[in-house]
Amino acid sequence: MTIIAAADGSALGNPGPAGWAWYVDDGCWAAGGWENSTNNRGELTAVLELLRATAQAGLAGEELLIQADSQYVINSLTKWIHGWRRRGWRKADGKPVLNDDLMKELDAAMRGRHVRFEWVRGHVGHPMNEAADQRARAAATAYQRGTSVPSGPGWTRVGAAVTADSASSDTPQSFTQEDERTLF
């Protein structure tokens, strides 16, 4: 069984009011944010909160496919994190890793899990990415305006996951060259 979800972040000003969101469908999503942060922290937090939500639902043993429009997130968590960990959370040039607090939490949350990432081009109509983006932006906007932050219902799938076989019609099942998707 494969859980398919989109994760996205948003910052108004970067840094500025910021939000994060993960999205499975209209009945299963979560969002949050801060008065002042960056887009990258929003993107990373969306992935972390998705990992936490699925683990708490007892789905840590299931494959998780995370669709993201952030090459920074995907490269950080699939390519660079291993070297950073070996070097004591330092980059190859010896400088500290940016967002190392989140990177350490993500590293721990992904251990023992089967997590794959799929890059999707942002802002081109990908249904799940657009839904995550709208929710992350809504959270950032709520912080900017000082209004209530739409946090979503959270993980609502008790013992079940959205899978490639049972996903809603909003989830594309085929990949085309026009989508310019790259699997990592």
Q: Would you name the residues annotated as active-site residues?
A: 8-9, 43, 69, 123, 133
Query: Which DSSP string corresponds to 4-72?
Result: EEEEEEEESSSSEEEEEEEEEETTEEEEEEEEEE-HHHHHHHHHHHHHHHHHHTT-TTSEEEEEES-HH
> Which tokens go with 71?
């090459």
Contact 133, 10 (CB under 8 A): yes
> Which tokens go with 143?
């912080």
